[in-house]
Amino acid sequence: MINGHGDDLFHYKHLIKSNFSSNVYNRIEHEELFERLSNKLYLLSNYPEPEPLSLETAFANFYHVEADCVCVTNGATEGIYLIAQTFKGKKSAVWMPTFSEYADACRLHGHRVSAFYTYDSVPADADLVWLCNPNNPTGEVRDYQRMKEWIGAHPDKLFVIDQSYESFTFKRLFSVSEVAALPNVILIHSLTKHFAIPGLRMGYLTGNAKLMKEIRLQRMPWSVNSLAIEAGFFALEKNLELSINLREYLDTKEKFVKELKRTGIVDVWDSDTHFFLVKLRMGKASALKEYLAEEHGILIRNASNFEGLDESFFRLATQTEEENQALVKALSDWMACI
């Protein structure tokens, strides 16, 4: 693992009032889930299933695919590491800038890792192609039709698409039933983001049965804790529906972006979801981050350690209107100081 992931809230415990640094939206309703978990703590007294087959079957039924097409994991992160381990020593190409764990996991398992930045520049000899969609940190969703053609044109490559943020966009994405029938696509999913429960560690992979069987062979027993499994069942009872109105939330984002642009201090990248990249026209994101934490109790994500980005970049996840406005004001204050 590299240093410098988002949500380093634990470093600043007593200072922070507003946390823009994590892509996990902290206004997602948890109360009902927490009440359920609270009533199910007795589950901790027994081992979870060595392999979470019951939950995998439930997900498969929900998506109308064979049970073998789902692999439940200890957070989406375990999914990433299991894929890297299953294909150890291969050549992996990662569409940058993106989440650093794809490259980290691949390097740990002996892959030769390269970066690419456009559809046309994916290395010809890559065995695996990794991308995030919606992409972290840019928030961009790749065009569905173009992606489909691109993947179809490269039957020799395995495409790993991290859809962790799939609940937070209206753009068309690959569906589980679609990839279950494709020979060369794996989707990564995250309940962490959907329910805003990153502390619980719950994710899953989907793909064709043969691929998923190979990956499950690499998974250690009992990797998924009993409460995470319970949260998975809860999510399915709710039909994986989001507890907030996404349209309103993305409207709030649009307003936030406009206000940021209006300051004249930053450029904002177009995003198809609730988080987005911001580039300072002057100064460094690291200095801004310290200033906002110390002076305003606001935490942002310094994005300069994403490969392909420089030290002027930071990432914001939309919060409430009041918090967004407070950030815009604090940013102007900072500009007046430097």
18 binds a copy of itself (CB under 8 A): no
131 within 8 A of 187, measured Cβ to Cβ: no
**Shortest distance, CB of residue 79 to a copy of itself, whole angstroms?**
10
Sign of CA dihedral 300, 7, 1, 204: negative
Which range, of 137-145, 154-162, 222-230, 248-256, touches a copy of itself by CB under 8 A? 222-230
Nearest to 94 by CA among 306, 327, 237, 239: 306
**Smallest distance from a copy of itself to CB 264, Å:** 33
Q: Does residue number 196 form part of the binding site for a copy of itself (CB under 8 A)?
A: yes
* Dist. CA 9–CA 20, nearest whole Å: 10
Can you tell me which of 12, 62, 116, 222 binds a copy of itself, judged by CB under 8 A? 222
Binding string, residues 42-81; x marks residues near a copy of itself by CB under 8 A: xxxxxxxxxx--x-------------------xx-xx-xx
Residue carrying the six token digits 């957070």: 75
Name which of 18 and 184 has its Cβ closer to a copy of itself. Answer: 18
235 binds a copy of itself (CB under 8 A): no
CA dihedral 250, 24, 219, 90 (to 10 degrees): 70
> From CA 146, how far away is CA 300, in angstroms rounded?
33
Among 38-46, 151-159, 233-241, 303-311, the segment contacting a copy of itself (CB under 8 A): 38-46
| Residue 104 contacts residue 2 (beta carbons within 8 Å) | yes
The tokens describing 133, both together, are: 């969609």
117 binds a copy of itself per the rule CB under 8 A: no
Residue 221 as a binder of a copy of itself (CB under 8 A): the answer is yes
CB nearer to a copy of itself: pick between 7 and 127: 7
Question: Reduced to 3 states, what is the DSSP secondary structure of residue 181?
Answer: coil
Per-residue binding letters, 86-115, with a copy of itself (x by CB under 8 A): ---------------x---x--x-------
Eight-state DSSP code of residue 302? E
